[in-house]
Structures are given as C-alpha cells and as structure tokens.
Structure 1
C-alpha cells in the first residue's frame, strides 16, 4: 500500500488549486519503498518538484511524528548548469517557506565565495544544489566521510545532458564514492527527453543493475505546436545557415508575442542574428543575447531581465537548452536545423512551461536540406520519437582525476577503490591490470616521467590492518588538485599567421588540428599551405596550388543519426513530397528524373564534370565531423591512386570531392581498411592526437592550468603538453594518456563510428550515377566552396548568389544520366 501524501504537502497543493500528478506520487512511493528511480516526464510536468517530494516529506512534522527534523546534509541536487541550480533554488524556496518546513537550501559552484564553501563543509545545508565538478571537489576534503555519512538522496537533473560524456563519468564515480560513504543513499534521475530509458537506468544504478531503478513515466501533456517558417515572397534558399531572409518575419513574431526565445546552434550565429535583429528593430523592442562566451556579469544581467519580464526576445545558444524557467515565454524559435529531436523538444519546452498548455515553436530553415531536416524533426516531435547520444566506456583521464581526488580526502585501499570504480556501468570494464596502470600513472606519471618529482603525487605504503594503502606524497598536492580539477577544457582558437608574423585571423582549434604540414586550405580569400602548428599558432604560407580544403567552415554540431535516417526516408517517399513547398518539391523531382535519390541502407554517389574538374558527391547523411574526416581520408587515397585530388567540402548531408581525373570506382575508395591504415596515419601526422592529448593531460592532472595566484594561458598549457607528448611518443608510446587521447580522437574529434557506418553501406551497395553536370541535390554543398566563414553578412549574400548560379545549371531539364 502506498503511504499517504504528508498533510503539509497535500494542503500546499490544495491551496493552489493544484493536484498531485500521478508521477509525482509514484516518485514519493518509490522513495518510501527504498528504491532508486528515474523519472521521464514532459517539460512543465513538475519533474523537479517530483524529485524533491521525498526530501520535503522527510521534513514534514506529520511524518516526523513529534521527532526532530533530520540534521546534516540530506539531499544533493546535481545539474549540468550553474544557472539551473540557482533557478531550482529560487523555485524550491517558495514551497519550503509556505509549508513552514525547517529546510536550509544552498547552492555550491565555482562562483560560490570561498568562505561560504568552507562554512558549508563545517555546517552543511539540508539540501545542496551543485554541479558534477563541484561535487567531485567537495569529495576531496578530509571531512568528506563525516559530511556525507548521513546523505539520503542524490537527484540528478537533466540526466540526458551529461550522462553519456566525461562529466557523466565524473558524476558516476562521485556517486559510487557517495554510495560507499552512505550505503543507504538513493539515486534519482530526471529528464524530459530519453530515447533509451533502460540505458540511463543502468548508468544511474549501482553496479549497472537496471532492476534496482524504478522507471516512472510522467503524465502526457499537451502536444507541442511546431511549425516551419517559410519565406513570404521568395523561395527557400539553396544554401547558407544564417536564415537572414527571416529577419523581418522574426521581428513581427517578436512583436506579436510576450517573450520569444530564439535558439541558435553556435555562438557566432547568435551574435550575428542578434545584430541583424537590432538593425531591423525599428520599434526598439528590448532584445537580449545569452551564450557561454559572455561574462558572468553580462549573463546574470540578462537572466535577471528575463526573470522580471523586461525582455521581449532573447537570442541564445545551448546555454539555455535545459530546464531554466525564466520569464513568460510563449514562443520558441529555432534558427537553422534542429540537429536532433530530443534537443528540439528540450528547447520547445522553454515555452509555456506548463503541462496542460501546448508549447509553441517555429523552425527557421537556412536552406533546402535544413527544411527537410526541420520537417523530419517536426514529425519526430509529433510522434514522440527521441534520439540519445550513445554510451561509451568511461575515460581513463577522468578515472585518474577521481583517484587523485580520493587520495586528497585521505589514504585509500586499492581493492576498495577498485570495487567502487567498477560499480559504475561506465567503468565496469576496468580490470585489475588497467586499474594498476591508472594508479601507476597517478603515482609517478608513468614510465617515461617517473624520474621527475613533480609527477609523484601518491605513494603506496604498508598498512598494519589491510596490508597496503595509497596516500599523498605531500599535502600540497591536495591544494594543487583542487585548483585544477575539472572536466571542461576550453576550446582554443588558433591564430593563422605567415612565418613573418602577419596574422590572417583565427580558426577553431578542432579544424586546425585536423591539418598536417603540407595540407592546403582556403582562408581570408587566399589558398594557404600549412607549415606547422606551434602552440596556438597555425603557421602557413601561400600555396602554390589550389586549396584541398576549399573553405574553412568551423565546428558545428552534427545532425543526429535518428533525424538523418528520417530525412533519407522522406527523400524516397515520393508521395509525401506533396507536403513540401513547390520549390522543394521541384528540386527533388528534377533530382529524381536526372539522377537518383539516397535510399536507406544504400550509398548514393554521383560523378560529374564541373569547371574543368571531375567531381564526386557522396550522400552520407552522417554529419559534418564524419564527412570532414572522410574527406581527409578519401583525398589521401585519391593521391595514392594518381587521381590528382584538388579539394573537398563537407556538410551534414554530403561530401563533395574533386580532382583532375574522375573516380571510376568509388567503392574502392571506401573499403573498410581505410580505418586501419589511412586513418591511423592521418591522425598521427595531423595535430588531432596532440590536441586530444592536451585535453586528457589537463583532465588527468598531469598538466596544471592554475597555480596559487595565477592561471596559465592557453599557450603555456599547450607548450607544456606538447613537450610531454613528444617525450611519451618517443619513449613511452603505450602510455595511459596516449591511449586516452586515441579514444578521444576516434570518438569525439573524428566521429569515426559514423565514418564506419558509411563504409558499411558502401560495402553492401553503392548507387554510382554518372552525370554530365552538377545535380540538383549537390548544389547546396558545392555552393559552400570558398566561403570561409559563416555567418558573415557579405559572405552569406555571395553564397546565395553562387547557389542560384549553380542551381540554374543543375535544374535545367536535359536527358537523365547513365549509371553503373
């Protein structure tokens, strides 16, 4: 029998005319049964309150039966964003005060003053709202055992946002430690968007035991209203991502709504759209901007204005994706492609933050492929389909940081810590040999570095009770660890310079790292050849030939596999084209008549001459990072086969490669061994592995970013890690961090899993179509050639003009092509 809702909570709901929702009652019941729980419920369903109801119930006098309220730290709430923790504190204080519960609630993050942090360790609040990094640091203090010994509950909000990444690894290890300190601890996960709840139940549970975590599904809310904004007079653009055509219509939408939240996929696009809106804002509507590169003061000012209802619109990035409930938002706008249905649902949920009212969203495609992606996302939302990031093995660099943090709290026994680590599903794979390697790394830095005292952080000593234990070699290592611990390593920008010092501008490090000496790319209107990457400078010279990488496109989030599959299915559903605007339908009909359309499970490849070169387009639909990697690999193979590659350009949907001689057999260029030979050579010869090593060296604690009173510049950190990288490559190539760097290079930096999916399709069936000129479907990709930065107003205009010129050639009705 389910215990009754405490009278104080029931009265509080009744006073507001609210009812306790089924999933809220079930979360309380799961807690009363002593179980862990994962709640999946729509935005506005009261998830946060559901997660905290068991905690509030523990403080209700009706349940205490005359006894004293709990003392000490009772519940930890973990969120991926500092802003979300502050928002939850604000929304939680009201019911606590109105019920008259003796509960103290505080936040703890990197922004919390040091004196308050010290006081929280000595006299903790009942509920602590924090982030994974701050929780991990709190566990490094000697008083951690006493502080957490009575912990009853940990609530992980927006669990989808970080469980599959390195922040999730860190949190999983922290929860394992908390479970050891407080065996009765119960874990709670909250999310609005999960495609694979069982995967997250396994992540949340001790020892990955899915059955130990109850799955609670929320009541269904009102269906969101999602529409696609189309040009009023003109056609949907062939290419581009900025969607500046929509600015006048956006101004009208802002004027017609109380508060509009305008999401963009990059910080650059946020700045650009914000400026374009201001230029068109004749009525001086109050419009703000919010993204991670702004100062804390600027973000706080905007957040305050939103909470007080003083803004009519806010342009933002993923910094506001999650459950922050600010202002009276009644419209969400997504500029450009949504990239994933889960991400879109999360953003839509910022509007009308109530379960019984539909959230209203408008998608604004920048080009025709983005229209198809927006349409696919619209259908996915309507059908309730989600897409999650896949789970991956836990990072060794994160594990090394955790081991060091544990040592900072006091001596530990190897077997006990190993058992804690393996209780995390992400680290269940770690055997004794692997764990011993991690300990050896933390203790000495590894074989090639063991002679340096600075890397000797822990030491094994005899313990009279259990045989052996590990402890810090010196107390100062604890202070240094707390200064430097963390998972987020800021991405750097590389200065593009000639050897004489002349600067041409900056590119993202992720792009620069994919290049090796001798590679050519187009930037600042010039064809450039890479000479070297030194610290944070990409040294170049004028290229004697056309650039192989004809446009610097920067880094972008890729389309999800789920949405990509939907777009491919839509392309083959000819009957469904009737739902599309006339210009999009005509585009696909001419493509279908002159060539083929990409089919699920098959790889469409088109070859055609253009401007004296032989072009090949691979329609992969695997996202920009995978296509960029594939372009690097294919051009290397073309060079070996004497095909004279001249360049390539990648989008989310396609890869276009061109050279002096045509590709007669594209399948031969896509054999699976490209990932065992060319891939390894490319990563080693480029700067990808070096960049990955810097990140894992910082996360593992091998290289420190901060020292008391000072912080190293990005250049200094890079210099330090480059020196160590060179030493390890020469003397210890099997070093733990080289292994960790390779794992990152394969997974995050090159998206090799999605490259492998392309190769799998190529091995089964390649539809190779030979054309006499550019095809309609390849126009969006070819029009990107030579466009070095996006958005940039003039570049976007030029891009549209180039696309129209290519389109007139592609859409001219001539006899269809031949095929293999």
Structure 2
C-alpha cells in the first residue's frame, strides 16, 4: 500500500464537522485508492468482529496495518457517531519510537472519510511536554506508543480509568519484540490491561518469523486463545550479489567490500532510490564517505542514517526518502522496520546479512507495494560470503525462516513490574501473582521465586535489608505500595529494559548537536584528534559534562570511530543452508552465479584438504613455523564456535597442561599451540561430547567476570542502579562500578540471590548461545569427522589465521602482511 504524504510536524489541525455527504463506506474508501482487500485482511476483520485475538503474518508491503486496524473501524462505523472523540479504544505498540509518527499518519487516513470523530496521538520519549499534559487528562482514541511508554503509563494510579474503554491492542513488528526483555515487558503490560479489560482483543503483526505458534502464545497470554492469519499474497523477492571481477582464492574478512564500490555506484545509478544497508555504524559512515568520494556530484542526494545521529537529521532523511529526492541512503538497522518508502526500488546489503529473516526484512524495504518485486543485492566483504548469499536465497525460497524463543522468567523485569504496580495504587500479592502468571514468560513462576521477588522489592533481599534506600515498596494491611515520592520519581525515570553504554552528546562549539558517541570512545579522544561522524570530518576540542565539543576540520581523519557491540553471528537457519551449499559444491554442483564465482576457492580447498558434505565435520591439522594448528569447521556461527573452542581447549588442558591461542569466525575455529595437536576423529568426538556442557563451558572461561559484566544490565533493569536524573551525567564506569559492588556483595553475603543466577544464565544464552551450542555438539556427535593434514593453510583456514593476527598487528601492517601471505599461497595454488 502506498505511503501517505507526510504533513508538517506541528500539532494537529482543528477539525471541521463531518458532513454526511462526505462519509463513505470502508469498501468505497479502498476503491477510491484502487485497492481491493486481500482475503487475509477480510479474514482478520471477521475474526476481530467475532471477538478473537491473533497474529497476522504477511510479507512487508501487503497491508498488515489495515488488516489489524479495520476490524475496529468496521465495528465503530455501525455505532452511533460520537460528538467528541471517545477515550482510548485502540492501543498501537511499536518497537521503534521513530515509527510512531508514520504509523499515526497511516491510521489517521481512513478516520474522517469513514465519518469517525476520533483523534490520534503518539506517546513516546519524544512526545512534547504539552502533549503529555493533555494526555494526562484524556488519552486519544488511538494511541501509538512503545513498550516503555506503555509501561510508564501503567505506573499511574488512574491507569484503570484511563484504559476503561480500551478494546484492542495491536503489537506491530511483533517479531522484533518477541524473544527479548522488551517483549517480556510488553507481555506484562498486556497482562495488566487484560485485568482491566477481560475481553480485550490482542493482535500482533509480523513479516519474518519461523515459529508463529510460539509468538502467538506469548502475545495472547496463557488464559486466551487466538489464531494465526497468514497473508498468502504474491510478493516476489529477488536476491542476488555483486560478483567481484576476480575472486581471490584465499579470502579474508573485510578486504573485499570497498573494492566493489564501482559496481555499487552502478547499481544505485540504475534505480530511482536505493537503501544501502550495513551491519555496523562504523561501516555506514565509511560507505557514505566512499560514495561521495566516487560521485561528488551526488552531494545532497546521498544521506546517512543510523541510531547515533540526531533525531532531526534522521527525520530529514526519512522525509527525503518519502519525497523521492534522495538517490541513496546509507543506513543500518534503523531503517529495517515499518516505514513505507514507496520510491525505494533498490536495496543493497553490505556484507552477509547473517540471517534469512533479516535479509528478507531489508529486501521488503523496496517494492513496498503488493505484487511488486522486492530486490536485494548483496555486496560481499569477502569471497566466502558468496556461499551465504546463495544459501540465503535457497532458504528463503523454501520458507526456512529463523525462529525466536520466549525468555523464561527474567526476574529483573518482574521486579521492575512489581515496583510499577505498587506505584499504580498498590497490589495484593496473590492477585498480582495470578495476573503475572497469565504472561507466557512467567507461566511457570514458582511460589518461592515470587516470594523472593517480593522480598527483593520490599527489603532489598537478604544482603541489603539494612539499607532504607532498597525498601522501595512497603506493605500495609496486605497491600504493597510505594509511599516515597523520591523512589516513585526515580522508578519512572528508569522504566524500561534497554541498557547500553552511556552516550556522550556530540555538539559543535557554535552550532547544533550532531548525535551521540559511546562514552568509551569519547574518553580516549585527545584535543586535536580528528574523526568522521555524521558524514563530516570533526576535530575534537574538549569533553565537558558528557558532551564532546567539536569543530569542522578540513584535514583527513586520523582516528577511527568505534562503537561498542558484538558482531552478528550466522543464524542457525543460514548455517544449515551454508552447509547444504558446500555439500553441493563437494559433489561438483555449482547451480547459480554465486556458487560458480566461488568455485575456484572450493577447488583449491578440495585439492589440499576437503570440502565437507552436509553430514560431515572437517578438521585440519597443520604445522607451521608458528607451531601446531587444529582447524575445525562446524559452520555454526561465531558465538557457537567461541563456545566449542573454549570447551575443547579446556578439556584438552585437563588431560595435559597446555597453552592455546584461539581464533573464531562464522565458519570454524583454530586452536594453536607450541605442542603437537595429534587428535584423530575418535578423540575429537570424545572431547566434544555434549555431556557436562554447561559446567565445562563456565569453567573454561573467566565466567565470574563475564557474569559480573552481565549483572550490570540485570541490576539496571531490576532497579538496583539507575542512570540518575536527566543530564546528571552518570558514566558507564560509575554504573559498572556500582553494579560490580552489588555483584560482589551478593556473591559473598547472599549467594542464593536469584539475580546472580539470572546473570550466569544470560551469559550462557547470549555469549555462547548455549542452546545452539548443545544442538551443534549433538550434530557433531551424529556426523562423520574427517581429519586431513594439508601441506599449507587452506582457503578455509586462511581467514582464521588472519583473525588471530588482528590481535597483535596494526590494521595497516596487517593488510600488507596478509597480502604477502595470500600471494604466496596463490602461487602454490596454481595448477601443477
């Protein structure tokens, strides 16, 4: 469906009375736009009017928004016309506050033509103070909000009255919330709203998700039933790749990307408007500069969009995309979701998308109309990513999309919810427990766990019972409530579960703000340092009160901008598809352009070692002047390989004290040692047995330090530490020190504290994807391990050698050294 032109951003215009002649039927409204409702939309409307809840799953650009919204509109047009806008009837929850304005415009479009005297509003962190004040008196008929703002609204004593007329909640882009703490926060808010309104209908929208039944169960709660409605609307997706003119047979990560700049420029020139997605903000800045360097005449037609830029800059970019005045926008995941940019007809993806769902989501940003082809062109940053492109296309064609799984009982989120419920007029323990258990994440919450959470919010737990600041909730006559205004204010300022490194504002000495940097990067800057940010070269002047003051510089940048955040690992579905493609290559099948391009690499790999079949795991043993090397290639993704490598090194060290150097990538890992690593297939299977996995993985690492770092997030969400008042400037170092102190106190004086247990569990889940790790070890146990002894590093081993070199060699020296190594191997690879 076409995007709706964006009006000026000031407040809503005054409404003139609706004349009867102006009112049209819903069918006429669709017809006026040249649209015919799809069967899945009509199915959703009928289900809504029958009182049902559900999940609508359909491709991007096929009309999910109106599939969810028109059920309520069809119901409303049959009721007497309201003279004044009624109180809130529809709550629309969006994962990104940046989407709220566009969503509100799309929802507002049919209201007046259908004769509905409704008002529509947004409630996010960006909502002006005046609008918030109006909403304190009455919420608009349709309220577009985020999980955090909704949770904040539910902390006020009049929440039950405010939502007394609520009929429907729609969770947009549910796949982005489901399986995360933000999703759990939403589940708890929905449980509270259902307590207020037992017949509340809940609908979710999703475009890319594998396990729809699980997603539906989390959406509707344990006491309701619902249905999945699938939008079988033809939406062709074309996935291809920019093929390098020459494929190096010894690829290494990152070296190829910008060498394909001419092909990217040609692809952008071949369309009206393009989005160039990158996986990191640093890569985004780099490609923006490269495009302008290649085509200076594009100045003003090429733009930059990522989450660290100022909101006004991002709004300008989005308005330019809608108007069709921008030729190309270089962006990150900030443009993944929801916003309809009809002029966009090309999407390019720099580097591997790492997942099938992510690639399809980004492809859907182009051809954003029913029936139009969505096209995404991948720009590989090293040659082996061509296999990933071929694999992603095959997986997408077969409908193999990644699943997300609900979190189980995150107690830090529950503690926050309990304090918020105590603020909202108070609660009784048994009543709130019954309500909380209707949220799927807490369906198995035990009585002793509930008792521990209540003790934690009322006394601070065993270790903090002597400190009044941690008695946030008091109990009087069985009612739990917050009586301290300071605690109430502090809690409302910290509602939410989004935790990240403290941000430092970037601002010109004389001029506007540009965005924000990670505190850790800003703290290392010295006056005179130059770096590229927001598409400009800036000179750092000073850091004062959490603001980095800068001026424009005409000289070249001498400092590389870095943001925190781990690299995305290869997903399970894409990993399986890659193994299948390699199996085809091992059998001599090269059916598409990407596999034919990578064929020289696989032929050298097969000649010196082996290309594994889908039911094989390849191990390579190699001796160089640096020592002995063991390479193992499960093709399961970086995080899984980090866990497997640590596990193998730990179990080997139990047999004989030994020192190892480790390197991992998405395809495999390397163990390097000065001592021989004479391991056969049988020994490897024994060492990689799944038995005792969790304990050995924790023992193999500095698990206490990892858990201590993860505890920072847990402590922040649970309310033990908070960033302080706005602009107070508490640094990440201060927050880490505070949470670290709590961790040490709990470990020594309250070892049974359930937040410690949660931090350790999150380390296993996030650091090593322990569920996937166990599945990978089960697969290794069921596979045939093939051990080879190649005469020299193979194409699979080469990027792992480079990965290990990165730790000790500067980027410039690394590039020179790697080119010499690759050239030597290329000479050896020439046919005899």
TM-score (norm 2): 0.85
1:351 corresponds to 2:361:
no
1:218 corresponds to 2:231:
yes
2:636 aligned to 615, 622, 628, which one?
Answer: 622
CA distance in 2, matches of 1:123, 1:810: 76
Contact 1:41 1:192 in 2 (8 A): yes
Contact 1:637 1:669 in 2 (8 A): yes
The answer for the alignment partner of 1:173 in structure 2 is 188
CA distance in 2, matches of 1:637, 1:56: 63
Instruction: Give the 3-state SS of the residue equivalent to 1:687 in structure 2.
Output: helix
* Equivalences for residues 408-447 of structure 1 within 5 A: 408-447=423-462
Contact 2:239 2:393 in 1 (8 A): yes
The answer for the alignment partner of 2:206 in structure 1 is 191
Query: Shift in Å at residue 598 of structure 1?
Result: 3.0
The answer for the alignment partner of 2:718 in structure 1 is 700
The answer for the alignment partner of 2:665 in structure 1 is 651
CA distance in 2, matches of 1:154, 1:572: 47
2:790 aligned to 771, 776, 794, which one?
Answer: 771
The 10-residue stretch of structure 1 (87-96 or 189-198) with the greater mean CA deviation from structure 2: 87-96
CA distance in 1, matches of 2:103, 2:672: 53
Query: Shift in Å at residue 553 of structure 1?
Result: 11
1:748 corresponds to 2:766:
yes
The 10-residue stretch of structure 1 (393-402 or 799-808) with the greater mean CA deviation from structure 2: 799-808
After superposition, the Cα gap between the structure-2 partners of 1:432 and 1:340, relative to the gap in structure 1 and judged at 3 Å, is same
The 10-residue stretch of structure 1 (632-641 or 740-749) with the greater mean CA deviation from structure 2: 632-641
* Equivalences for residues 563-574 of structure 1 within 5 A: 563-573=574-584, 574=587
Aligned length: 751
Could you tell me which runs of 5 or more consecutive residues in structure 1 were left unpaired when the two chains were aligned.
1-5, 463-467, 506-551, 815-820
Could you tell me which runs of 5 or more consecutive residues in structure 2 were left unpaired when the two chains were aligned.
1-22, 503-517, 530-562
The 10-residue stretch of structure 1 (710-719 or 188-197) with the greater mean CA deviation from structure 2: 710-719
Query: Shift in Å at residue 618 of structure 1?
Result: 1.4
CA distance in 2, matches of 1:501, 1:305: 34
* Equivalences for residues 548-697 of structure 1 within 5 A: 555-573=566-584, 574-579=587-592, 580-582=594-596, 584-642=598-656, 644-665=658-679, 666-672=684-690, 675-685=693-703, 687-697=705-715
Q: List per-residue Cα deviations over 1:469-491 (Å, max 9, x = no partner).
A: 21124233221100111111013
The answer for the alignment partner of 1:545 in structure 2 is none
Contact 2:342 2:369 in 1 (8 A): no
Instruction: Give the 3-state SS of the residue equivalent to 1:227 in structure 2.
Output: strand
1:783 aligned to 802, 809, 815, which one?
Answer: 802
Contact 1:631 1:657 in 2 (8 A): yes
Instruction: Give the 3-state SS of the residue equivalent to 2:436 in structure 1.
Output: helix
Query: Shift in Å at residue 599 of structure 1?
Result: 3.6
The answer for the alignment partner of 2:275 in structure 1 is 261
Q: List per-residue Cα deviations over 1:253-280 (Å, max 9, x = no partner).
A: 1122111001111112112222222221
CA distance in 1, matches of 2:345, 2:799: 33
Query: Shift in Å at residue 582 of structure 1?
Result: 4.7
Query: Shift in Å at residue 164 of structure 1?
Result: 0.7
TM-score (norm 1): 0.86
1:377 corresponds to 2:392:
yes
The answer for the alignment partner of 2:17 in structure 1 is none
After superposition, the Cα gap between the structure-2 partners of 1:264 and 1:448, relative to the gap in structure 1 and judged at 3 Å, is same
The answer for the alignment partner of 1:30 in structure 2 is 47
After superposition, the Cα gap between the structure-2 partners of 1:125 and 1:83, relative to the gap in structure 1 and judged at 3 Å, is same
CA distance in 2, matches of 1:616, 1:138: 56
How big is the alpha-carbon RMSD for the aligned residues of Structure 1 and Structure 2?
Answer: 2.9
CA distance in 2, matches of 1:478, 1:364: 50
The 10-residue stretch of structure 1 (694-703 or 243-252) with the greater mean CA deviation from structure 2: 243-252
Q: List per-residue Cα deviations over 1:270-303 (Å, max 9, x = no partner).
A: 1222222222124325211111122222222222
Query: Shift in Å at residue 59 of structure 1?
Result: 3.3
The answer for the alignment partner of 2:8 in structure 1 is none
1:59 corresponds to 2:69:
no
CA distance in 2, matches of 1:247, 1:501: 30
CA distance in 1, matches of 2:828, 2:631: 14
CA distance in 1, matches of 2:28, 2:662: 66
After superposition, the Cα gap between the structure-2 partners of 1:596 and 1:307, relative to the gap in structure 1 and judged at 3 Å, is same
Contact 1:43 1:353 in 2 (8 A): yes
Instruction: Give the 3-state SS of the residue equivalent to 2:797 in structure 1.
Output: helix
Contact 1:290 1:319 in 2 (8 A): yes
Instruction: Give the 3-state SS of the residue equivalent to 1:334 in structure 2.
Output: strand
* Equivalences for residues 484-563 of structure 1 within 5 A: 484-491=494-501, 555-563=566-574
Contact 1:73 1:148 in 2 (8 A): yes
1:715 aligned to 715, 719, 733, which one?
Answer: 733
Contact 1:167 1:487 in 2 (8 A): yes
After superposition, the Cα gap between the structure-2 partners of 1:233 and 1:806, relative to the gap in structure 1 and judged at 3 Å, is closer
Query: Shift in Å at residue 680 of structure 1?
Result: 2.4
Contact 1:643 1:660 in 2 (8 A): no
CA distance in 2, matches of 1:273, 1:40: 34
Q: List per-residue Cα deviations over 1:127-147 (Å, max 9, x = no partner).
A: 000111111111001110101
Contact 2:29 2:110 in 1 (8 A): yes
After superposition, the Cα gap between the structure-2 partners of 1:307 and 1:603, relative to the gap in structure 1 and judged at 3 Å, is same
Instruction: Give the 3-state SS of the residue equivalent to 1:368 in structure 2.
Output: coil
The 10-residue stretch of structure 1 (486-495 or 218-227) with the greater mean CA deviation from structure 2: 486-495
The answer for the alignment partner of 1:734 in structure 2 is 752
Query: Shift in Å at residue 621 of structure 1?
Result: 1.8
Query: Shift in Å at residue 37 of structure 1?
Result: 1.7
